[in-house]
Amino acid sequence: MPRTTRIDAPDALHHIIIRGIERKKIFRDDTDRDNFLDRLGEILVDTRTACFAWALIPNHVHLLLKTGSLPLATVMRRLLTGYAVSFNLRHRRHGQLFQNRYKSILCQEDPYLLELVRYIHLNPLRAKIVSELKSLDRYPYSGHSIVMGKRMNDWQDVEYVLGLFDIKLSTARRRYRAFVQKGLREGRRPDLVGGNLIRSAGVWSIVKATRKNIVRLKGDERILGDADFVERVLESNNERLSRRYKLESRGYDFDWLIERVSLLSGMKPKEILSKGKYPQTVKARSLLCFWATRELGISTVKLAKKLNLSQPSVSISAKRGEKIAKDNNFKLLEE
178-192 per-position pLDDT tens digit = 999 999 877 666 556
**Dihedrals phi, psi of 70, to nearest 5 degrees:** -90, 145
Contact 85, 46 (CB under 8 A): no
Q: Hey, is 284 helix, strand or coil?
A: helix
- At residue 79, does pLDDT exceed 80? yes
Who contacts 57 (Cβ-Cβ below 8 Å, separation ≥6)? Answer: 123, 124, 127, 129
Residue 155 has a pLDDT of 95
| 110-119, 215-224, 326-335: range with lowest mean pLDDT | 215-224
- With bands split at pLDDT 50, 70 and 90, how would you rate the model's confidence at 274? confident
- Ranked by mean pLDDT, the top range of 4-13, 120-129, 273-282 is 120-129
Angle (deg, nearest 10), helices 279-294 and 311-328: 100
- At residue 69, does pLDDT exceed 60? yes
Better pLDDT: 223 or 125: 125
How many Å apart are CA 318 and CA 314, to the nearest integer? Answer: 6
Q: What is the mean pLDDT of the chain?
A: 80
Contact 216, 210 (CB under 8 A): no
- At residue 219, does pLDDT exceed 60? no
If 0-12 CB within 10 Å is exposed, 13-18 middle and 19+ buried, where does residue 25 land?
middle
Residue 214 has a pLDDT of 38
Which of 108, 12, 105, 17 minimizes the C-alpha distance to 55?
17
| 91-105, 142-156, 241-255, 257-271: range with lowest mean pLDDT | 241-255
Residue 296 has a pLDDT of 78
Contact 273, 262 (CB under 8 A): no
Which of 42, 186, 165 minimizes the C-alpha distance to 122?
186
Residue 213 has a pLDDT of 42
Residue 2 has a pLDDT of 45
Spell out the domains of the chain, with CATH numbers in brackets.
13-193 (3.30.70.1290), 204-248 (no CATH), 251-328 (1.10.1750.10)
Contact 118, 183 (CB under 8 A): yes
- Ranked by mean pLDDT, the top range of 126-135, 178-187, 326-335 is 126-135
Residue 141 has a pLDDT of 97
If you average pLDDT over residues 278-293, what whole number do you get? 88
Pairing verdict, β 103-107 and 60-66? unpaired
Distances 191 to 114, 121, 217, 225 between C-alpha atoms, Å: 14, 16, 12, 10
- At residue 58, does pLDDT exceed 90? yes
If you average pLDDT over residues 70-80, what whole number do you get? 85
Residue 191 has a pLDDT of 59
- At residue 210, does pLDDT exceed 60? no
Which helix (H) or strand (E) element contains residue 19?
A: strand 13-19
- With bands split at pLDDT 50, 70 and 90, how would you rate the model's confidence at 221? low
Q: What is the dihedral of CA 198, 201, 207, 211, to 10 degrees?
A: -20
- With bands split at pLDDT 50, 70 and 90, how would you rate the model's confidence at 294? confident
Radius of gyration of the chain (CA): 22
Handedness of CA 233, 235, 238, 240 (dihedral sign): negative
Longest dimension (CA), the chain: 65
Residue 202 has a pLDDT of 39
Contact 292, 321 (CB under 8 A): no
Better pLDDT: 285 or 6: 285
